[in-house]
Amino acid sequence: MSHDYDLIVIGAGSGGVRAARMSAQAGAKVAIVEEYRYGGTCVIRGCVPKKLMVYASSFAESFEDAKGFGWTVGESRFSWPDFMAAKDAEIARLEGIYARNLANSGVELHRARGVVTGPHSVRLSSHDKDLTAKHILIATGGAPFVPDVPGACHAMTSNELFELPEMPRRVVIVGGGYIACEFAGVLNGLGAHVTQLYRGKRILRGFDGEVAGFVQDEMIKKGVVIRLESDVAAIEDPTETGMVVELTTGEKIEADAVLYATGRHPNTRGIGLEEAGVTLGAKGEVVVDEYSRTSVPSIWAIGDVTDRVALTPVAIREGAAFARSAFEGELTAADHELIPTAVFTQPEIGTCGMTEEEARASHDIEVYSAAFRPMIHTLSGRDERMLMKLLVDKATRKVLGCHVVGHAAGEMIQLAGIAVKMGATKEDFDRTVAVHPTAAEELVTMKTPTR
């Protein structure tokens, strides 16, 4: 049976775009279907605009720190509308690049909503008949999840924050994960009064305990009010003076905005997957094998919609593995082991490998840990520390985990992650000559285990 295409990709985020381009370059006839904007969550309303916001918010401290180095810094003022206009222009530029690269690769672009109508067919909102393909790839990503509490309709998620015309001055952020913590740092840095609510006993659950506690302490020092074992009971109807948030503790907080960052769910509703026979998991995620194949042989899925590792570079790797598997004759699984990750909290986190808790549960380990004041703050006078941490298997001497907290932690972990991925030992780190004066030299100069 002949089909209209060899491949139809639903979703033009990072993973879908990589899969579409590589498949087309391998000779496949490819169409990509996107109902919103090319680039997906990461480019349009995720990593990229978030990082630009992190940069914007960090200047406030830079102006203060400059005084310690002899600079006279005049009065400064942040313009949210000016920043948003610059951010929007950059996002539009990037979206244009994504669309051009797809078209230049020979991919047919459809700005429409796509719904799977069978193992080989997709209905587009822009067409009156189904399009058919040998393979269908689901790359629809995820969306923010907001719990069903009274008044939740008055809250916003990160999606809406990126479009706000004015910056709220009093913000309640609900959640303790990395997205909640990143936005707490951003809005605090821009001058808002931030109260972060988390129902757990410590923010950043799932991260190394020492790292999470360290970041929490530094965030509090910077002015973020963190309320643990607290949650929203209800949000009252907004008035001209703002809104009132009632907590599960019975207290009430006045705010101009409530931002929910309580996790994300896979985008699988209403796109015909179950009707086509595709198995979904408890959270709505597409269930796939190691090669990203679903329960229907002709339908594949990659990225956040599969709820494996929700990171842009991972979706890209999965997209590339799919193209090799489907069109280059080489069944390929994406490698999900030892993924280096940066979290743009303030201070920043870079992490690769096991947490101390995970390592202790499975290995006899040595912990090398150093907390110190970085050189820049000897003159700035700022009370801010960095943390460096290595987890070492006593038997093999292999570095099981590397954790960095502080300025440029993300840049450091990208390079340290190469060593960890290669199976470097503590002695490999020790043999490497320190680059002085840097903060990163601590990773190769920790001689004695902390515990």
pLDDT digits (tens, 9 = 90+) for 82-124: 999 999 999 999 999 999 999 999 999 999 999 999 999 999 9
Q: In this structure, are 228 and 257 located in the same domain?
A: yes
* CATH code for position 407: 3.30.390.30
Q: In this structure, are 139 and 274 located in the same domain?
A: yes
Contact of 398 with 338, CB cutoff 8 Å: no
pLDDT tens, position by position, 415-424? 999 999 999 9
Is the predicted pLDDT of residue 149 greater than 80, yes or no? yes
Q: In this structure, are 248 and 107 located in the same domain?
A: no
Domain boundary among 262, 297, 316: 262
User: Dihedrals φ, ψ of 400, to 5°?
Assistant: -85, -25
pLDDT tens, position by position, 313-360? 999 999 999 999 999 999 999 999 999 999 999 999 999 999 999 999
Tokens, residue 292: 């990203």
Contact of 160 with 198, CB cutoff 8 Å: no
Q: In this structure, are 283 and 355 located in the same domain?
A: no
Which residue has tokens 């030892």?
A: 338
Contact of 72 with 14, CB cutoff 8 Å: no
Contact of 63 with 195, CB cutoff 8 Å: no
Is the predicted pLDDT of residue 128 greater than 90, yes or no? no
Q: Which of 231, 228, 227, 229 is nearest to 150 (CA)?
A: 231
Q: In this structure, are 159 and 24 located in the same domain?
A: no
pLDDT tens, position by position, 194-231? 999 999 999 999 999 999 999 999 999 999 999 999 99
**Within a domain: 450:** no
Residues 6+ apart with CB under 8 A from 6: 23, 28, 29, 30, 133, 134, 135, 327
Report the pLDDT averaged over residues 367-388.
95
Tokens, residue 313: 């570079």
Is the predicted pLDDT of residue 166 greater than 80, yes or no? yes
Q: In this structure, are 269 and 125 located in the same domain?
A: yes
CA–CA gap between residue 95 and residue 253 (Å, rounded) = 39
* CATH code for position 291: 3.50.50.60
Q: In this structure, are 191 and 56 located in the same domain?
A: no
| Residue 387 pLDDT | 98
| Residue 127 pLDDT | 84
Confidence band, pLDDT 50/70/90 cuts, at residue 129: confident
pLDDT over 90, % of the chain: 98
H or E element: which one contains 64?
helix 47-66
Tokens, residue 23: 């498949």
CA–CA gap between residue 153 and residue 148 (Å, rounded) = 9
Contact of 231 with 407, CB cutoff 8 Å: no
User: Which domain does 117 fall in, by range?
Assistant: 5-144+265-327
**Within a domain: 375:** yes
Q: In this structure, are 158 and 197 located in the same domain?
A: yes
For residue 154, indicate whether it is catalytic.
Answer: no
pLDDT tens, position by position, 4-13? 999 999 999 9
Burial 403-425 (b: 16+ CB within 10 A, else e): bbbbbbbbebbeebbebbeeebe
Q: In this structure, are 308 and 440 located in the same domain?
A: no
Domain boundary among 212, 237, 262: 262
Global confidence as pTM? 0.95
**Within a domain: 335:** no
Tokens, residue 133: 């393909």
Contact of 409 with 349, CB cutoff 8 Å: yes
Q: Which of 150, 152, 196 is nearest to 177 (CA)?
A: 196
Domain count, the chain: 3
| Residue 267 pLDDT | 96
Sheet holding 170-174, edge to edge: 225-228, 193-198, 170-174, 257-260
**Within a domain: 246:** yes
260 has which bridge partners?
174
Is the predicted pLDDT of residue 1 greater than 90, yes or no? no
pLDDT over 70, % of the chain: 100
Q: In this structure, are 269 and 254 located in the same domain?
A: no
How confident is the prediction for the chain on average, in pLDDT? 96
**Within a domain: 332:** no
Residues 6+ apart with CB under 8 A from 197: 172, 173, 174, 175, 227, 230, 231, 232, 247
Domain boundary among 218, 235, 262: 262
Separation in Å, CA 157 to CA 147, 153, 446: 11, 11, 42
CA–CA gap between residue 357 and residue 210 (Å, rounded) = 10
Residues 6+ apart with CB under 8 A from 162: 45, 49, 87
Separation in Å, CA 378 to CA 59, 381, 384, 444: 19, 6, 10, 22
Residue 243: burial class (beta carbons within 10 Å; 0-12, 13-18, 19+): buried
Report the pLDDT averaged over residues 292-314.
97
Q: In this structure, are 238 and 189 located in the same domain?
A: yes
**Within a domain: 93:** yes
CA–CA gap between residue 311 and residue 14 (Å, rounded) = 10
Catalytic entry in 110, 265, 377, 436: 436
Report the pLDDT averaged over residues 369-377.
96
CA–CA gap between residue 117 and residue 105 (Å, rounded) = 27
Q: In this structure, are 111 and 93 located in the same domain?
A: yes
Tokens, residue 273: 């997957």
Which residue has tokens 């290669």?
A: 422
**Within a domain: 333:** no
| Residue 305 pLDDT | 98
CA–CA gap between residue 444 and residue 434 (Å, rounded) = 6
**Within a domain: 279:** yes
Q: Is the dihedral of CA 209, 213, 218, 220 positive or negative?
A: positive
Residues 6+ apart with CB under 8 A from 260: 144, 145, 146, 147, 152, 155, 156, 157, 174, 175
User: What are the start-end ranges of the H helices in 328-375?
Assistant: 356-362
